[in-house]
Structure 1
Amino acid sequence: MVETGGQLWSIGELATLCGVTVRTLHHYDQIGLFRATGRTDSGHRRYSEDDVCHLYRIRALRALGLSLEHVRQILASSPSDVGAVRQLLAAQLSALHQQAEQAQRLQHQIQALLDNMGSTTPGADHFITILEGMTMYEKYFTEEQRTELAQRRAELGPVAINDAKAAFESLVEEGLGYLSTNTPVDDPAVRDFASRWDELGSQFHSNDATKTAARSMWQDNSRELSARLPWPEDRIQELVTYLQRVRDTG
């Protein structure tokens, strides 16, 4: 019988919402890492909000580079209370701060959870949002590339990263200005702007493969990503297209 009270998800629904496969959830069940707290009368798994939180902890620890066995040990020794979740959120936030600027959306989400976290664990919807973001980065960047990005950001340090964020905002405003005045893409000022834009990105993407992965992620998810920026979504997409036209001119 399924416990009453609170939202419940089937295994298929949970897999879809959290960006994992049903096969993965079955595997986690088989090794005793993650099991549904309830079942229907016919034996079908039903996952609760507590289960979503538990899945978040597993995925977050895996994203930090831990093996399944290490994850199992940590979860076994660390109760699923507010303090444990808070520590894990802080650890994941620290790691994300060392990744590329594309991780900025996820950083803000986790920081908001930490800032607003009182005496109770955040709801399942918060963790689902974070899991969706984690899935996106894992899809486009290999584990080696994610490690490289993390190391690069660690080398830069928080001051340089904040300076880069300020420079990015300034470049966006500058680029939107060129768009507003329909400045030709071969204008020397625009070419200089595009060069500075790419130089800024190169601080985080040290090789062509990582840069290509970042651009692929943007191209495939441009609407979703640009919608999270503090500028009109359509203008950001126009700016990215404009930049590519500048690069194509050589």
Structure 2
Amino acid sequence: MPDTMDADGLTVGQVSARLGVTVRALHHWDEIGLARPSLRTAAGYRLYTAGDLERLHRIVVYREIGLGLDRIRAVLDGSTADVPGALRAQRAQVAERIDRLQRLGEGLDRMIEAHERGLLLTVEQQTAVFGPRWNPDWPAEARERYGDTAQWLQYAERSASRGPEEWRAVTDAMADLDRALGDAMDAGVLPGSPEANHLVERHREVFSSYFPLTRRMQVCLGRRYEADPAFAAHYDGVRAGLAPWFRRVIDACARAHGIDPDTATWE
């Protein structure tokens, strides 16, 4: 169809360009009787008059504020007696959407910060939650070391939704597990026993507060618990020799699930 100006009106293409509305939308509004062009050329092309263009302007305005086409028709054709009431109802819906978007923006800000910092707690809050031996530099060091891993991404996603109380619950669960491990070792629980395997499963469940832990990843952690001085010191602080005992317990449970602890990798 030629996009030329007729003496008596505007073509569909011209109206589309002028109002920023697609030709498809204009055709649809014509088909449903919402905004029909008043004129046709001899060749049958639609032509919109100044009055048609005014109605289209109003449709665009009402559509932009979120009114549905049926509601727009009622407003334009005067079939609703309470236009201000209809607009107030739409204003309330817009306010709700703004509020949802505001919360979404705040959530995105927390997610960004969690990816960058790891913990969304002040130094004072970290000390109160994790204890006086906690080093506030550890989250930054962890990001430097693991920031490009899938596990850091999963950790950050969990961290973004946690405040001091949620982190305290995680810390308490880990402390309860440490005590249970120490008590089990004192009681002579043997690696591979049902009691030992239950503790291994409990460790995977509690640790998954940080990120999902597979059995192979758990084997790798067990090695590190024994070999890393900081981890070994932590477990020795619970019970002397707890780190190597816990590693044996993890390895025995892995074997029961068909995993060779000597060849297990972080996957």
Q: Does TM, scored on the shorter chain, surpass 0.5?
A: no
Structure with the bigger percentage of helix:
1
What TM-score, normalized to structure 1?
0.41
What TM-score, normalized to structure 2?
0.39
Q: Which has the higher contact order (CA 8 A, sep 6+)?
A: 1
